């Protein structure tokens, strides 16, 4: 399996599939998952002749579980090092949830010289947590509840989240997939406890308002209007106004887990945007 040893000795696992000479698409995953959560999109695009790359963020999946560096700047510096190692250029970046925040901070922090487009899927920017400047945000107590649940019984918490709001399986008439629940659980339990615990602060409190304003490449934002994890009103509807070249596409009735629940639709939108 391919690994990259980073500047601080952390080992990052990554996948590099498809045609090495094809259009390059780089994926960033959500919390507390890993690159496996993108397998439907990666398989589809690789079969269209693309080169598709996804890494397990530090502390997640098959990557190292360092005690330190669980912050958005370090995440994006790790991604930049992967870009340099693989000499990636003219990339379309795709990020889901926390991974969408990683894409936004990456482009705001490291610029767009290696990227030509970006897609944000149910992404966390501008900032999730409620504050005086963000009164519509999610109260801090909700995220404190996440941390308390992890400390009490992480395994049960990591079953409760996918069984309910993440995939929208708590909605009346939802077609519940035990396979998706177990896959989410498996990926989540592969993450380091401290890494996943500290990432709650990362995805809830990192303010990416200024990063969004800096992004000078076309950005497609996909968001479900029934997203119970990252409500559209405090994410996409705000963030799209900050992007110089942003386009918002709302999935009616769409949950947070668009890449898993709306597979064909997401694949189609990625393919069309890549070729636009």
Average pLDDT along the chain, 276 residues, taken 10 residues at a time: 94 98 98 98 98 98 98 98 98 98 98 98 97 92 97 98 98 97 98 98 98 98 98 97 98 98 98 97
Q: With beta carbons less than 8 A apart as the criterion, state whether 134 and 231 touch.
A: no
Which pLDDT score, from 0 to 100, does residue 16 have? 98
H helix or E strand, kind and range, residue 198: helix 193-205
Residue 84: give the domain boundaries.
Answer: 3-275
Instruction: Give the number of domains in the chain.
Output: 1
CATH number where 40 lies: 3.40.50.1820
Which pLDDT score, from 0 to 100, does residue 134 have? 92
Pick from 205, 199, 207, 230: which is nearest to 124 by CA?
230
- The catalytically annotated residue of 60, 96, 223, 256 is 256
- The catalytically annotated residue of 56, 227, 234, 269 is 227
Which pLDDT score, from 0 to 100, does residue 188 have? 98
35: annotated active-site residue: no
227: annotated active-site residue: yes
113: annotated active-site residue: no
What is the three-class DSSP state of 120? strand
Which pLDDT score, from 0 to 100, does residue 29 have? 98
**First and final CA of the chain: distance in angstroms?**
33
Which pLDDT score, from 0 to 100, does residue 192 have? 98
- The catalytically annotated residue of 97, 204, 211, 269 is 97
């Amino acid at each position: 399996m391919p690994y990259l040893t980073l500047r601080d000795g952390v080992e990052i696992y990554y996948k590099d599939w498809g045609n090495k000479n094809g259009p390059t698409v780089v994926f960033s995953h959500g919390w507390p998952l890993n690159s496996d959560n993108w397998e439907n999109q990666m398989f589809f695009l690789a079969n269209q002749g693309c080169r598709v790359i996804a890494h397990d963020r530090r502390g997640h999946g098959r990557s190292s579980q360092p005690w330190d560096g669980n912050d958005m700047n370090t995440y994006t510096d790790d991604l930049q090092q992967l870009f340099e190692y693989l000499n990636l250029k003219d990339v379309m970046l795709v990020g889901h949830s926390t991974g969408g925040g990683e894409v936004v901070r990456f482009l705001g922090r490291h610029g767009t010289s290696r990227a030509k487009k970006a897609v944000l899927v149910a992404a966390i920017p501008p900032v999730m947590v409620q504050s005086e400047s963000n009164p519509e945000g999610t109260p801090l107590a909700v995220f404190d509840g996440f941390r308390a649940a992890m400390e009490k019984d992480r395994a049960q918490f990591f079953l409760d989240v996918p069984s309910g709001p993440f995939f929208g399986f708590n909605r009346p008439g939802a077609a519940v997939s035990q396979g998706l629940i177990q896959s989410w659980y498996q990926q989540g339990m592969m993450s380091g406890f401290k890494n996943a615990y500290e990432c709650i602060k990362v995805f809830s409190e990192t303010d990416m308002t200024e990063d969004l304003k800096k992004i000078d490449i076309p950005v497609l934002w996909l968001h479900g209007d029934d997203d119970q994890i990252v409500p559209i009103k405090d994410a996409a509807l705000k963030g799209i106004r900050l992007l110089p070249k942003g386009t918002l596409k709302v999935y009616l009735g769409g949950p947070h887990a668009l890449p898993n629940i709306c597979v064909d639709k997401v694949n189609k939108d990625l393919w069309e945007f890549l070729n636009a």
